[in-house]
Structure 1
Amino acid sequence: MFDNNRSAPVPAGYRPTQGIHTQPPVYFLEDLKGKVLWEAMDPDCCHFLRHVLERRRPDGLQMIFSEVKDHICILMLDWYGSYVIEKLYEVCDNEQMEQVVFSVTSDADVLMAVCLNSRGSKSMKKFIECLRTPEQKSHMISIFQSMTVPLVNHKTGVGVIRHCLYIFPEKQTQIFDVIADNLFEIATTESGAFLLREVLNSQVFPPEIRQHILSEIIENVHRLYLEPFGSRVVLHVITVRLEEGVRDIVARLTGAFACMSVNKYGTWIVNELMEIYKKEYTPQIINEIISSSDFPRVLLHPYGKDIIEHAKKHTTGAVLNSLNHQIALHSDHSRSPCHGENVKPKWKI
């Protein structure tokens, strides 16, 4: 059935059937010559064209291919046109697929628009699956390398890069090199942080790749803990107990725990370390905080007060005694002017 509200342009002199059909219209391939591109975006005709492609008759396949091969991306972005083009990927031969690859990659801006579009990204994933020769795969990976960062940082585009990583395991290193080189920018977006956490979890990716990503997280940990999504990447390393990574993260953050205790996202990391690694790192973290010149600030700060409460829950013995002693020594500092009033200390020793 034709949709008269569609805004897609039509060739001069071509008029779609008017009115509402009680039954789908009957199409003949020869009547569609010169009109395939636009008819592929019609809800009824797209099913007819898919049927023609499924039959794999050389004359029908060649006619459809010749009329759409220079407009692949237009159809990838259309709800109905994408169904036609996805079937074309499956039935065309290697030589035709070479032309499709050239058409898809001829304009980087258009390719980016396709990957960032919800319908286009689904069609792009199908296209990636249908690549046949090593040359086709290498060409697409080289194109995606230059687009990795903006795609990973987009909630829809990340799916295209993720699909490449799973479909082309032999090409993973090329994409991951870009991700590692731009880890901070990627880790500080929601979609990028999600992908990094998935990489660290998955056994699909080789250990050396996961280690490379982990090393870059550790290298950037001082900046990551200040960011809402970056801090979640660091938290993930801690919560899944990547022991070597946690050890290096603690080593990198030594000297910064007091500052982290008055930062919203930093407190997430400090609290998680004290909760999971009570014996290994909690005494070190508490001793550093109470020895810091910023300790009075920690006592007064809302986030700092939360850190102190957690510290008292997760430590015992000499360390707890030292903590209580330092709180007592700084009790005067826990009374601070706030809108003209004094705030009473909340600490119970």
Structure 2
Amino acid sequence: MSNQSPLSPSSYNLPPSIDVDETLTYGFSSLTLHNNNPDLQNYSPQAFDYEHNGAGFNGFNGNQGFMMNGLNDNFRVYNGVNGVYNNGFYSGVSNTSPFMVDPHFLDHGYMYEYQYPSHGYNGASSSSCTSGFNFDKMDYLLYKQGLSSCYNHDLYNAGGFDLGNGFRNNKDLSRVSSKMKKDQFFSLMSLKEMKEVIYDLAKDQNGCRILQAKFENPTKDEIEFVLGEVIDSIADLMKDQFGNYIIQKLVSVCNEDQKTLMVYELTKPPVEIIHVCMNPFGTRAIQKLLESLRSRNQIMMVIGALCRAAARLANDPNGHHVLLYCLLHFDNDLNQLIIDDIADNCFKVATNRYGCCVLQACVEHSRGETRNRLVSEIMAHAMHIAEDPYGNYVLQHMVGLKSPELTGLLVRELQGNFASLARNKFASNVVEKCLAEAGQDISAKIIRELVASRNSQSLLVDPYANFVIQIALRVSKGFTYECLLDLIRRNAASMQTNLYGKKILERIEKRKMV
């Protein structure tokens, strides 16, 4: 390993404008010396000939080039021959190319700190100065691609650009990077000229609009190019408030192989797509992707990832929309893995505000053994589900499907508990649904149980059970109706002084009139 000092002249990759063999006298004669702060130490980093024609970069308050406003601004190059140093890092020899410092240096400044130390910026150490390197890839692209052409007088007078006096005077190049100027530049660039900043543009409000506009009628090459730029960050962009629109746009124009690649990137760690589904922006992008899937293999890749956390997604305010889409649009055999995980967590899903909707869809769209297993799990928790603010909707939905098999299973499971369920705020809705839609035989069985129950008279004046009795009066016939009417007659006196009892008596009077 060489013992050569990293600061030795021979280690620098100097531009042709510098003669390392010049005489000492000539070298001193070309220096500009300052003694503003004797404690300042200044070290010159090597120029970046391979990309910036030997451009150096300016200090914090140099007379030309980029003006630093604190440590969080970007370093840009200095346009001068003899370096001017004022309270800053370095102002060195360079050519007249107004580009930024090499991005590798800016992104990884800490790696070069030993080589280019700086001290004395108001007492700041080199590490604090290094923190000033905040590299903006979009700024870099603008300067690299087109900023030098802005010196052309004709461009100043063109309608598309108004760079302002600040730029013409070369006093504040940072103004050129303002949002308006960026938008003007990017609007005139082709997609391929935006290489390496597609991701950054997609996450910017105006940048996103520019990309969408350029993506209205993309060529195959442009689709391939943009996909290549975003594929490694597809999950992150889907979760972004602006980036998700670019992915949705991309999905709509990709071919089957490209969509398969997108699905693969999202599902190779299943947690990626799960997190996207649970994001308010990601859930839209995923549903857009699902809409475009035609291959069974693509769908199975998605389902295989979602089933790892189907119950968690079902209970999520954003994730449940993705599961509902799958259940409504994909075949039962494809959704089996999702339904199996829902069944394993049936009670937790049934009693959740969002999960109850997913469970209803599972019951409605499942078939065969998949449905049988799911229904068995629901029946095992039927009493508790009926009394839950959200779970009761699951049981009502089962009855509403008008499947004699499902309704019969539910009534058998709840049998012997209809009186207590009728008094419950939420379960009373399930009893009413059974009476109204389960058919004459089942409703008669439920009414006879209510009439024969202990303290049946309390049902007539209960805030919730009175609605059950009113439905029973409406659907009952013959002997069943007479049994119910007899119970009411025996308790008519107490019912007349009760708000809920009066409603039942009014119902009887209306039926007599009819």
Q: TM-score band (shorter)?
A: 0.7 to 0.9
Query: Paired residue for 1:85, among 247, 253, 266?
Result: 247
Closer/same/farther in 2, CA of residues 303 and 95 from structure 1, 3 Å limit: closer
- Residue deviations 1:96-125 (CA, integer Å, cap 9, x gap): 9547633565472x5444213343112112
Whole-Å Cα distance in 1 between the matches of residues 483 and 378 of structure 2?
A: 33
- Residue deviations 1:191-239 (CA, integer Å, cap 9, x gap): 333334344445xx54443444333333332122112332122122223
Closer/same/farther in 2, CA of residues 335 and 127 from structure 1, 3 Å limit: closer
Do residues 172 (structure 1) and 335 (structure 2) align?
Answer: yes
* Partner AA of 1:40 in structure 2: A
Q: Which residue of 2 aligns with 1:50?
A: 215
The answer to whether the Cα contact below 8 Å between 1:260 and 1:267 also exists between their aligned partners in 2 is yes
Do residues 28 (structure 1) and 193 (structure 2) align?
Answer: no
* Partner AA of 2:427 in structure 1: G
Normalized per residue, the structure richer in helix is: 1
Question: Which protein has the larger Cα radius of gyration, Structure 1 or Structure 2?
Answer: 2
Query: Paired residue for 1:184, among 347, 365, 368?
Result: 347
Q: Which residue of 1 aligns with 2:137?
A: 11
Closer/same/farther in 2, CA of residues 73 and 280 from structure 1, 3 Å limit: same
Could you tell me the TM-score, scaled by structure 1's length?
A: 0.76
Do residues 37 (structure 1) and 199 (structure 2) align?
Answer: yes
Do residues 271 (structure 1) and 432 (structure 2) align?
Answer: yes
Query: Paired residue for 2:281, among 119, 131, 141?
Result: 119
* Partner AA of 1:183 in structure 2: C
Report the alpha carbon displacement of residue 152 of structure 1 after superposing the two structures with TM. Answer: 1.7
- Residue deviations 1:73-101 (CA, integer Å, cap 9, x gap): 22213354334334545537848954763
List aligned pairs for 1:147-226, cutoff 5 A: 147-165=309-327, 166-167=329-330, 170-202=333-365, 205-226=366-387
Q: Which residue of 1 aligns with 2:456?
A: 295
List aligned pairs for 1:309-324, cutoff 5 A: 309-324=470-485
Give the match's secondary structure for 1:71.
helix
Report the alpha carbon displacement of residue 254 of structure 1 after superposing the two structures with TM. Answer: 1.0
The answer to whether the Cα contact below 8 Å between 1:221 and 1:249 also exists between their aligned partners in 2 is yes
Report the alpha carbon displacement of residue 257 of structure 1 after superposing the two structures with TM. Answer: 0.8
* Partner AA of 2:190 in structure 1: F
Report the alpha carbon displacement of residue 247 of structure 1 after superposing the two structures with TM. Answer: 1.3
Report the alpha carbon displacement of residue 164 of structure 1 after superposing the two structures with TM. Answer: 3.3
Whole-Å Cα distance in 1 between the matches of residues 426 and 454 of structure 2?
A: 21
Give the match's secondary structure for 1:34.
coil
My pick for the range that moved more, 143-152 or 185-194, is 185-194
Could you tell me the TM-score, scaled by structure 2's length?
A: 0.54
Q: Which residue of 2 aligns with 1:243?
A: 404
Do residues 70 (structure 1) and 232 (structure 2) align?
Answer: yes
- Residue deviations 1:252-275 (CA, integer Å, cap 9, x gap): 111101101111222222223223
Report the alpha carbon displacement of residue 129 of structure 1 after superposing the two structures with TM. Answer: 5.2
The answer to whether the Cα contact below 8 Å between 1:184 and 1:224 also exists between their aligned partners in 2 is yes
Closer/same/farther in 2, CA of residues 278 and 209 from structure 1, 3 Å limit: closer
Whole-Å Cα distance in 1 between the matches of residues 214 and 471 of structure 2?
A: 65
Q: Which residue of 2 aligns with 1:5?
A: none
Give the match's secondary structure for 1:232.
helix
Report the alpha carbon displacement of residue 248 of structure 1 after superposing the two structures with TM. Answer: 1.5
Whole-Å Cα distance in 1 between the matches of residues 407 and 342 of structure 2?
A: 21
Whole-Å Cα distance in 2 between the matches of residues 103 and 310 of structure 1?
A: 52
Whole-Å Cα distance in 2 between the matches of residues 254 and 75 of structure 1?
A: 53
Give the match's secondary structure for 1:310.
helix
* Partner AA of 1:286 in structure 2: I
Do residues 140 (structure 1) and 291 (structure 2) align?
Answer: no
The answer to whether the Cα contact below 8 Å between 1:225 and 1:266 also exists between their aligned partners in 2 is yes
Give the match's secondary structure for 2:347.
helix
The answer to whether the Cα contact below 8 Å between 2:313 and 2:319 also exists between their aligned partners in 1 is yes
Q: Which runs of 5+ in 2 are unaligned?
A: 1-134, 141-176, 509-514
Report the alpha carbon displacement of residue 176 of structure 1 after superposing the two structures with TM. Answer: 1.2
Do residues 101 (structure 1) and 264 (structure 2) align?
Answer: yes
The answer to whether the Cα contact below 8 Å between 1:40 and 1:49 also exists between their aligned partners in 2 is no
Q: Which residue of 2 aligns with 1:3?
A: none
Closer/same/farther in 2, CA of residues 273 and 141 from structure 1, 3 Å limit: closer
Equivalent pairs counted in the alignment come to 329
The answer to whether the Cα contact below 8 Å between 1:36 and 1:68 also exists between their aligned partners in 2 is yes
Whole-Å Cα distance in 2 between the matches of residues 310 and 93 of structure 1?
A: 55
Closer/same/farther in 2, CA of residues 36 and 307 from structure 1, 3 Å limit: closer
